[in-house]
Structure 1
Amino acid sequence: MAVKSLGVVMNGVTGRMGYRQHLVRSILAINEQGGVELSDGSRVTLDPLLVGRSEEKLRDLATRHGLERWTTDLDTALGDAANVVYFDAQLTSVREEAIVKAIDAGKHVYTEKPVSETVEGALTLAKRARTAGVKNGVVHDKLFLPGLLKLRRLIDSGFFGRILSVRGEFGYWVFEGDWQQAQRPSWNYRSEDGGGIVVDMFCHWDYVLTNLFGRVEAVTARAVTHIPERWDERGRRYDVTADDAAYAIFELAGGAVAQFNSSWAVRVHRDELLELQVDGTLGSAVAGLHHCVIQPRTATPRPTWNPDLADEQRYREQWQDVPDNAPPKNGFMAQWEQFVRHVAEDGPHPYDFLAGARGVRLAQAGLQSSDGGCRVELPELTL
């Protein structure tokens, strides 16, 4: 079968996510397997053009992976007709301007989230892309995680009955940077640079909840800064101006309630860094990034509350593993393949700029709720 090549402008690829997840584990991995297979059996390989501000970093990446195309000139990259797709993994604060340029150049756009710093900006991008007739998508990687794919199977099978609640625990201890190097970039902790766990994670929680359990209709949240000072990549102390933890209640269409704790100041006592417990009338499940366990109604034990006696039940041992049933694939790579099929043969890809705008809105509503100490309702968002 024929193999076609698709030029992809990759902006911000020298950053952690752009490099590891999108270049190495997605684009290069796709090419190593022979490209993306289309419905007619043909394949599409991807020809990345690395874009960034540092010639030295770009040259080093290109040399390391045997790539020939890189530039610090975004306008020239977008002016090349061979480049059909524009991908953005820059800081959120500069993303919207670059995406506008890509849309005006007639490129299909795939981007990291948040798609914009504001709901208004995200909706403007969605309208602009629709008017220009370009395909657009926002990273929804967590839907492709093996653990959440197992949850999807359970939901589709009717395993839960009526879903009552979802409890999410996400996070880990990010070192302050003084005596051990931080595991996250310092801009994550500066609101003026687009940092903050609400801005980062609520976009994820929106699409996870919406696509698995129901649209978020209201939010009550409390965002806090637990660690007020940190040290950056060069060892310089700085004041933290963004939230590093958030505690939220999301009310979902259909009546289920979701509670999420998100924190970069929590020590892990979980099997995985993200875990979701879903409780329904017919059964419950606990899903992480990779694993998922279930407890059906017929196998639910009968706990009895008695604080005067030690509880002899081994609750974790009473759950059953859900099998993979398919080889796991990197979630970023899986969605890249989906977006390539969307561009190449108009395959389905529901995670567009409007979906991205919903995530931005939930983040803004969470901050509004925290600042005002109130519950914020979220009506349906449309163009």
Structure 2
Amino acid sequence: MRIESRLAQIGSVRDSVTGAVSYPIYQATAFRHPGLGQSTGFDYARTKSPTRMVLEEAAAELESGDAGFACSSGMAALQTVFALFRQGDHLLVSLDLYGGTYRLIEQVMSRFGLTASYVDTNDIAALEAEWRPGSTKAVLIETPTNPLMMITDLAKVSEWAKSRGLLVIVDNTLMTPYFQRPIELGADIVVHSATKYLGGHNDVLAGLIVTKGKELSERMAFLHNSIGAVLGPQDSWLLMRGMKTLALRMERHQENALRVAEYLLGHPLVEEVYHPGLPQHPGHDIHRKQSSGNTGIFSFRVKDARLVEPVLRHVKLIAFAESLGGVESLMTYPAVQTHADIPEEIRRAVGVDDRLLRLSVGIEHSEDLIEDLGQALERAAREIGA
């Protein structure tokens, strides 16, 4: 069955009691035992909940994995994954990284002895140079990265990682399984901030983990239950409802984002546009090889840092807000928002400077978005005398 049909049918044939097309919300934390030593399969909601179970099974199936785990947020999902490691372990991590992930590694997990090296994960020589035999345990990859949209060849890096005995963890938030399935390319673990495209409506906070392999899945199930940062039944239901329309939304997101990116590419006040769907993007060919489409998010750099504040103030249809992946278009200033916890010297070295803006393109009409950006840039230019 094609992915569009599988998405639309999430949970629709699972309620054998009533035949409900929409799987119900089981708002329960405890479940009766038929007798001593007997169970219905559900005992306590932290361990297993009917509504969450249907979501988790759908996530695993969509990502071509063996088990899924729904968490209370994307950061909760990452922390649960990091619990696989112990004091003295070392990770190789994408250089251009979401600021929240950097904060979790450097300000939280480092206290427990987990360390990381930040490298261009598409450069095997760079990975090899930072690999520490005996202590390096995994490679954590964002592709595309957030916010500069750098691309990693997942099949190539997975092959190298396997030769070194390393796990491959991929944050697939920006692409979703509709456009990219890392496990099919060699990854062991996929994580999502499901708050973003999977939920798709800026109304539910959630994270997902999908694992490949029986032993790894059993270890993750133990950690998921023990840490307890699980997703509640109402949020599980909201997430499933959002995922049913993922195919339609992602098609519109990618169509709109490419049109807006092409417009900005030709704008006199814009210096660079970072979108892997553009032929001039350095990762364009790899991206096309390993995915079936483009995300709806990209970044662009204006020519003058003085333009940033008035542009953010003058956009009308586009909201100046953090987050991404919803039906509404949002613009973010990474240097002081999503990547504020990354030290300035590291931020600037990667390219997250004071002229970079990130745009999550929604499902509005693309011409309305282009007109909004045009008027905001024009008014900003007048204000600074550009």
Q: TM-score range with shorter-chain normalisation?
A: 0.3 to 0.5
* Higher fraction of strand: 1
Q: TM-score, normalised by structure 1?
A: 0.34
Query: Relative contact order (alpha carbons < 8 A, sep ≥ 6): 1 or 2 greater?
Result: 1
